[in-house]
């Protein structure tokens, strides 16, 4: 089995996890710059600990990351050598608008992405741009409290207009927000939100979600107006919840967990809040404040395709005892119970290639829009040999099985799929843990958790393997 010509094979990164150069080229401070490495990371990411400036007690991995700001030509050349058709990256908002909503954009920041896109095209690589990937300008967090405040919509649309006008001829594929459902789990990462004492967290999160959804719809409308032919997608942190048993109570519980995530893209793909979501918010005492035309905007700004990340499936039970005793099935961000049928990665993420086929089918059944797998991969420890080679057979095995599942979904189930960009095609900072040790790349970067390392890039075995996969459109999986 293989993919048809035109299928976009490639890799994905995010500015906050690879660019570095956090104060260079006129860039302003952004939310991820103040999310530290270590035990406080999740507290800050979840909005439970307020940190809007850097201090001396913490280390901030985003400041240098893998310094792609200075290495992008070399890195894109390596992507070109692997045969990428597509490279997913995100824009650093504060490189363009250092305070988030400045009157004039920062020309140095704009020129940086111009050059980066030109470099992609030189290698025949189609850029796929995430407008906002875990990235809220600190100045706007100080001014508005992040996406809690409706005025964020205008700031975001201002950014979009600048991007679309400047890059409309260079970029066809766009994503409005990375993993928009992460807002519920990591409100500071997803929306620049930290909670004040006594604040109603559900109310704040869903109101912020509403603002992001309206902003996303406005971006879609604007993109279609300014860039005819552009494709704008939403992006979900996917992976179905399975019921722990065939007990209907478990099945209902798993459905509810799935709905928490679908909530967002149901709105982005269908243009309205689902009935069950309205009821659920009502029961939780959440009252959404809406402007008069918000519903019309949501209805008009539906996306052209559904993109998603897939690393693992999840499992859930309705029985509190089971949850208590088998609670290590999720990850640092989303909790779940252990699925006894699956093996786990070194970080406890449960490996489930068939789950990818299930996810593809579920999403297509639900939305009937083209899909795009924009993240998939294995976070693992790599050990360079004395001669510098890296034999990452575990990563190849993971990707092979997932690509097989994807091939089956497309060829046997008929799912329309635009492309596959594996996550962290070059090693970068982990979003959930801030580690460098948790590597996804096919390109190794000599950088350690403590910030040491030469930043030298080298090719892992998976580099040569993926090169063949792409060249054969998925037919040669190296078995």
SS3 state of residue 98: coil
Helical residues (DSSP H) of 168-319, grouped into ranges:
187-191, 201-226, 248-270, 275-283, 294-300
Pick between residue 268 and residue 317 the one whose CB is nearest to ligand BGP. 268
Query: Tokens 């040790």 identify what position?
Result: 437
Rounded to the nearest 5°, which phi and psi values hold at 388? 95, -10
Which CB, 438 or 460, lies closer to ligand BGP? Answer: 438
Q: Which tokens sit at 311?
A: 């690393």
Between 209 and 222, whose beta carbon lies closer to ligand BGP? Answer: 209
Secondary element (H or E) of residue 308: strand 305-309
Instruction: State the DSSP code for 137.
Output: B
Closest C-alpha among 16, 66, 20, 63 to residue 426: 66
Residue from 375, 386, 475, 479 carrying the catalytic annotation = 375
Q: How far apart, in Å, are the Cα atoms of 218 and each of 90, 107, 272, 291?
A: 19, 24, 14, 13
Q: How far is 68 from 74, CA to CA, in rounded Å? A: 9
Q: Give strand pairing partners of 161.
A: none
Q: 241 vs 273, which CB is nearer to ligand BGP?
A: 241
**Positive or negative CA dihedral for 379, 308, 256, 196?**
positive
Interface ranges with ligand BGP (CB under 6 A): 14, 17, 178-179, 237, 309, 375, 379, 423, 430-433, 438
DSSP bridge partners of 87 = 11, 127
Output the smallest distance, CB 196 to ligand BGP, in A.
Answer: 26
Which among 426, 418, 419 has a CA at the least distance from the CA of 13?
426
| DSSP 3-state of 328 | strand
Residue 179 among the catalytic residues:
yes
CB nearer to ligand BGP: pick between 261 and 432: 432
CB 33 within 8 A of CB 22: yes
In terms of Cα–Cα distance, which of 251, 238, 247, 239 is closest to 316? 251
Helix (H, G, I), strand (E, B) or coil at 456: coil
Report the residue number, 236 or 406, with the smaller CB distance to ligand BGP. 236
- Closer by beta carbon to ligand BGP, 184 or else 237: 237
Q: How far is the CB of 423 from ligand BGP (least distance, A)?
A: 5
Residue 431 CB, nearest approach to ligand BGP (Å): 3
Minimum Å gap between C-beta 227 and ligand BGP is 24
Q: Which of 17, 106 has the CB closer to ligand BGP?
A: 17
Q: How far is the CB of 309 from ligand BGP (least distance, A)?
A: 5
b/e sequence 150-189, b meaning 16+ C-beta within 10 Å: bebbebbbbbbbbbbebbbebbbbbbbbbbbbbbbbbbbb
State which H helix or E strand residue 94 sits in: helix 93-96
Q: Could you tell me the smallest distance in angstroms from the CB atom of residue 376 to ligand BGP? A: 10
Residue 435 beta carbon to ligand BGP: minimum distance, rounded to whole angstroms: 8
Least distance to ligand BGP, CB of residue 132, Å: 11
Catalytic site residue from 179, 201, 386, 479: 179
Residue 418: helix, strand or coil by DSSP? strand
Annotated catalytic residues are: 179, 375
């Amino acid at each position: 089995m293989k993919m048809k010509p035109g299928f976009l094979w490639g890799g994905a990164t995010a500015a906050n996890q690879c660019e570095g150069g956090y104060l260079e080229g006129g860039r302003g401070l952004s939310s991820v710059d103040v999310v530290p490495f270590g035990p406080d990371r999740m507290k800050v990411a979840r909005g439970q600990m307020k940190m809007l400036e850097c201090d001396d007690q913490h280390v901030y991995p985003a400041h240098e990351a893998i310094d792609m700001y200075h290495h992008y030509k070399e890195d894109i050349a390596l992507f070109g050598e692997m045969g990428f058709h597509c490279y997913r990256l995100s824009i650093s908002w504060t490189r363009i608008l250092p305070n988030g909503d400045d009157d004039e954009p920062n020309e140095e920041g704009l020129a940086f992405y111009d050059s980066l896109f030109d470099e992609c095209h030189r290698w025949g690589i189609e850029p796929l741009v995430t407008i906002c990937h875990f990235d809220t300008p600190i100045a706007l967090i100080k001014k508005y409290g992040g996406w809690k405040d409706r005025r964020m919509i205008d700031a975001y649309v201002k950014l979009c207009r600048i991007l679309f006008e400047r890059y409309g001829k260079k970029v066809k594929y766009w994503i409005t927000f990375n993993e928009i459902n992460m807002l519920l789990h990591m409100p500071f990462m997803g929306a620049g939100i930290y909670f004040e004492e006594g604040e109603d967290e559900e109310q704040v999160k869903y109101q912020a979600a509403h603002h992001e959804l309206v902003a996303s719809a406005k971006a879609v409308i604007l993109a279609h107006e300014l860039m005819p032919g552009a494709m704008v997608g939403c992006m979900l942190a996917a992976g179905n919840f399975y019921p722990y048993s065939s007990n209907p109570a478990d099945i209902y519980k798993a459905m509810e967990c799935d709905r928490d995530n679908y909530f967002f893209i149901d709105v982005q793909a269908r243009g309205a809040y689902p009935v069950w979501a309205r009821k659920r918010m009502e029961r939780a005492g959440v009252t959404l404040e809406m402007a008069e035309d918000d519903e019309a905007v949501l209805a008009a700004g539906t996306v052209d395709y559904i993109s998603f990340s897939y690393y693992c499936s999840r499992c859930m039970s309705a029985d509190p005892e089971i949850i208590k005793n088998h609670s290590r099935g999720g990850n640092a961000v989303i909790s779940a119970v252990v699925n006894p049928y699956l093996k786990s990665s070194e970080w406890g993420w449960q490996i489930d290639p068939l789950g990818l086929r299930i996810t593809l089918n579920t999403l297509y059944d639900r939305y009937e829009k083209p899909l795009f797998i924009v993240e998939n991969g294995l976070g693992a420890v790599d050990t360079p040999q004395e001669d510098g080679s890296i034999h990452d057979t575990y990563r190849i095995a993971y990707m092979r099985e997932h690509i097989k599942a994807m091939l089956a979904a497309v060829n046997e189930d008929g799912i329309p799929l635009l492309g596959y960009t594996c996550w962290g095609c070059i090693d970068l900072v982990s979003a959930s843990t801030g580690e460098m040790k948790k590597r996804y790349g096919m390109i190794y970067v000599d950088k350690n958790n403590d910030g040491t390392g030469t930043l030298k890039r080298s090719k892992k075995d998976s580099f040569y393997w993926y090169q063949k996969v792409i060249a054969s459109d998925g037919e040669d999986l190296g078995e």
